[in-house]
Structure 1
Amino acid sequence: MSVRPGRRTAVGRFRTAVGALVVALAAGAAVTLPAAEAQAAGPRAAKVVYLTFDDGPSPAYTPKVLATLARYGVRATFFEIGQNVAAHPSVTKQVARAGHSVQNHTWSHPDLRRLSASALNAQLADTDRAVRAQTGRTPSCLRPPYGSVNSTVRSKAAALGKQVVLWSVDPADWSRPGTAAITSRVLDNVRPGSVILLHDGGGDRGQTVAALPSIISTLKARGYGFAALCG
């Protein structure tokens, strides 16, 4: 199918805006797509959000998350812990085969600001190797545990060719506040361009799994689309 020159330009500007989104997230900002870029990309592209899942892969919960994403035709980004990838390699492979983005969330979930240079490097490089072995791709983004980041962490990430990606909507699902609370905290705070922080690993994620269908279906009903970061 041919694409009109004006439409191709609009799509290009939208992709540039998404790149700017990742950079803004590296600074820890709550961000949305610039209005001009969103309008140029069209009303559907203007309302895009990014579902992200931390601390997996989990053999108990990641497949359930994947099943829901598949049911609604949604792509997401999974920030995975290296030691979990090593323990459950087939689950990481399943995430990648489903078309989702698999990114670096360190090897063992430490506060990277407190590590020596060599230990920090090992946390990122070891996770890269584990993910690459299952997906065939080296992660291009890093999500620091706890959102803890400083100039050293940014420099090391940049040296490894990575963007630092945080989030703009956090329902604190890790604390298991209840399915209804997780759902309402996301839906009440989401905006075009929001990066939503959820968890598929690190504990009992049954509430997150239960909240996901309502989150996705409601956002779709509001006219939102979904995309993966760093993919």
Structure 2
Amino acid sequence: MKKDQMTPGRRALLRGAAVFGLAVTAGCAGTERPAKPGPTASGGAAAGGPPAARALKPSAYRLQPMAGNGQQRAPRLRPRVRRKPILRMDGQDRAMVLTFDDGPDPRYTPGILHTLRRHDVRAMFFVCGEMAVDNKDLLREMADDGHVIGNHTWTHPLLPKMSRSAMREEIERTCQVVEDAVGEPPAWFRAPYGAWNRNAFQLGAELGMEPLAWTVDTLDWTEPGTRTIIRRVRAGAAPGVVVLSHDAGGDRSQSVDALRTYLPELLDSGYRITVPSAHGI
């Protein structure tokens, strides 16, 4: 996708005060990958028009504190505590959201960022703190390119099995890493495995984040093959859907390769790949 100029509105994506076009539906669709087998951490609006290769200017979307000269940033509005996560957008204008969990991973995340940049598309990255802390350069690259960075906990645990204090530490530490890297804490939260409970919703809201799930699960964590991932995205494509993929937590080369095929197909089919604003409903 291509725009001749980056508009001020698009630069403001990650700092907006209202979510664009998201609606809450009941339940959490799909399944995320099971407990990670190894030591790795498991885990606006988009431009329109035809795809074209174009490099973004450095720091075009760099997040900055809202106040300078040593002044504290204005406090964000705390979202209301939800009982269910947000699953999809309102479906207007054939808009879709692509999300990638568990990274950043220097083996796979750069390839995903390259493809998104080539087509001038924004996506959401739900990062795990233990991966992000050693890859802050990738967080900054995400921010520079206008992507939304979300919180996916520190170690990708099963939250309902944790105490409230342990859960808070998992979530809060990742918020801090993101803020240290890009100047703003995340405004979105995704529970590992899609396993939510009351504490997860409450703590996410207390830390200024909205809960986002998904409507289309590529199941790429099972490494089903590039063609299978592409087929699942094609089959699930529809106005308003949120697609779940991964850029870490295992061999994600299939996910990287699949994106190169299905992203231009979606754009050629008239879908607008977009991201929500930074905060608030």
Task: State the TM-score, normalized to the length of structure 2.
Answer: 0.69
Higher helix proportion (structure 1 or 2): 1
Aligned to 2:215: 168
Task: Sort the Cα spacing of 1:156 and 1:134 in 2 relative to 1 into closer, same or farther, 3 A.
Answer: same
Write out per-residue CA displacement over residues 187-226 of structure 1, whole angstroms, 9 at most, x where no aligned residue: 1112101100011111111000000021111111110011
Distance in 2 (CA, whole Å) between partners of 1:23 and 1:123 is: 26
Distance in 2 (CA, whole Å) between partners of 1:126 and 1:16 is: 24
Aligned to 1:66: 113
Q: Say if 2:89 is the partner of 1:86.
A: no
Write out per-residue CA displacement over residues 103-154 of structure 1, whole angstroms, 9 at most, x where no aligned residue: 1000000011111111011011100000001111111111000000011211
Aligned to 2:233: 186
Query: Percent sequence identity over matched residues?
Result: 36
Task: Sort the Cα spacing of 1:81 and 1:58 in 2 relative to 1 into closer, same or farther, 3 A.
Answer: same
Which letter maps to 1:138?
P
Following TM superposition, the consecutive aligned residue runs of length 4 or more in structure 1 with deviations greater than 6 angstroms are: 22-26
Distance in 2 (CA, whole Å) between partners of 1:185 and 1:213 is: 14
Task: State the TM-score, normalized to the length of structure 1.
Answer: 0.84
Which letter maps to 2:168?
N
Which letter maps to 1:97?
D
- Counterpart of 1:210 in 2: which secondary structure? helix
Any conservation in 1 of the 2:225–2:254 contact (CA below 8 Å)?
yes
Pairwise CA distance, 1:77: 0.4
Task: Sort the Cα spacing of 1:96 and 1:17 in 2 relative to 1 into closer, same or farther, 3 A.
Answer: closer
Distance in 2 (CA, whole Å) between partners of 1:21 and 1:225 is: 20
Any conservation in 2 of the 1:29–1:168 contact (CA below 8 Å)?
no
- Counterpart of 2:122 in 1: which secondary structure? coil
Q: Say if 2:97 is the partner of 1:50.
A: yes
Which letter maps to 1:83?
E
Any conservation in 1 of the 2:86–2:211 contact (CA below 8 Å)?
no
**5+ residue gaps, structure 1:** 1-14, 39-45
Higher RCO (CA < 8 A, seq sep 6+): 2
- Counterpart of 2:257 in 1: which secondary structure? helix
Write out per-residue CA displacement over residues 14-50 of structure 1, whole angstroms, 9 at most, x where no aligned residue: x76624359987725754526xxx3xxxxxxx11100
Distance in 2 (CA, whole Å) between partners of 1:124 and 1:210 is: 31
- Residues 67-146 of structure 1: pairs in structure 2 closer than 5 A: 67-146=114-193
Two-structure CA RMSD over aligned residues (Å) = 2.0
Write out per-residue CA displacement over residues 148-181 of structure 1, whole angstroms, 9 at most, x where no aligned residue: 0011211111122211110000010011000000
User: For structure 1, which segment, 77-86 or 154-163, has the greater mean C-alpha deviation from structure 2 after superposition?
Assistant: 154-163
**5+ residue gaps, structure 2:** 1-17, 29-81
Task: Sort the Cα spacing of 1:79 and 1:31 in 2 relative to 1 into closer, same or farther, 3 A.
Answer: closer
- Counterpart of 1:87 in 2: which secondary structure? coil
Distance in 2 (CA, whole Å) between partners of 1:156 and 1:31 is: 22
- Counterpart of 1:213 in 2: which secondary structure? helix
- Counterpart of 2:133 in 1: which secondary structure? helix
Aligned to 1:41: none
